[in-house]
Copies of this chain bind each other. A is one copy, B any other.
Amino acid sequence: MDLVLHTYWRSSAAWRVRAALALKGLAWDGVPHDLRANAQRAPDYVARNPQALVPALEIDGAVLTQSLAIIEYLEERFPQPPLLPADLLERARVRAFALAVACDIHPVQNLRVLRMLKKRGLDQPAIDEWAREVIESGLAACSRLIEHREGPFCFGAEVTLADIVLIPQMANARRFGARIDYPRLEAVEVAALAHPAFAASRPEVQADADPA
């Protein structure tokens, strides 16, 4: 089974899938798409992924899109180690946390939206302030979702989908200079970045990363 991941080193959504693949112990070949140069809009890629977004995962001749759908697929096909708890209510809580980031933070501060704001005449400080507002209010809610739970990870002793989605968003927060004052989230970040799967999947060590 060959796995081909369409990726971009700095894409949060691609990082999620890279982390999930690493956690599942699955090797992959990468096809990089430089989003700054709109490489993901090349016709041969759009033919595979009509949304013209990364990531996409080629597996068994199929092209899977949307990071959370890809991760749910990996979870169903390669159940060990699990990225979701066994208990149904706990699964719902982990998924809700992941969606709180993947729906309500990331798409509202990603490159596409920032470009739309620029087109409407917002200057760079105003655009960065937009991103910070979205990230800060979103992470505040995420922090409250897990403040009463034991660590070291979002939902306890094991890495779950929640951590997979949180860690790239924390990196985005730092990039935009958002105020990060959530001890619980910061502790999760420290624990996760010390985990080999996150260390191997982080942007800076990808083959297509800019030189430091």
Contacts and interface: CB of A to CB of B under 8 A. Distances in A.
A185 interface: no
Chain copies in complex: 2
Given A62-B89, A88-B77, A96 B69 contact: yes
Contacts of A106: 103
B104 A104 contact: no
Contacts of A193: none
A102 B100 CA distance: 11
A62 B87 CA distance: 13
A112 to B, nearest CB: 8
User: Does more than half of chain A's interface fall in helix, strand or loop, or is it mixed?
Assistant: helix
A62 to B, nearest CB: 5
A99 interface: yes
Contacts of A81: none
A181 to B, nearest CB: 16
Contact of A103 (B70, B103, B122): B103
